[in-house]
Amino acid sequence: MGMESVYKLSVILNMVDQLTAPMGRASQNLGSRLSGLQSGFGMAALAGGGMTAAGVGITNGMMKIAVPPSRPRMPWQSLSRWESQT
């Protein structure tokens, strides 16, 4: 192999190295960004679960206040143990 062939090969390899180097850095950055997004979505789901639980508690509390004992209960409301079923 002549020196001219070695030079041409080194030029081509250098061009390939310069083109592919940014792709390696981009894949590393993408991996770190995706893990950050994944943890962010996990926290959002956890917060949503907490808000749902709080909403259920508030709704149950308001239903006990809003429906006095003289009114008939709705089918989804449970009877207390001292009330008889009709």
Please write the tens of the pLDDT for every residue from 1-50. 678 888 888 888 888 888 887 777 777 777 778 888 888 888 888 888 88
Which H helix or E strand runs over 7?
Answer: helix 3-66
User: If DSSP states are collapsed to H, E and C, what string results for 22-69?
Assistant: HHHHHHHHHHHHHHHHHHHHHHHHHHHHHHHHHHHHHHHHHHHHHCCC
Question: Which residue has better confidence, 81 or 63?
Answer: 63
Residue with tokens 């207390």: 80
pLDDT band with cut points at 50, 70 and 90 for residue 80? low
Say how far apart CA 7 and CA 59 lie, in whole Å: 78
Say how far apart CA 26 and CA 48 lie, in whole Å: 33
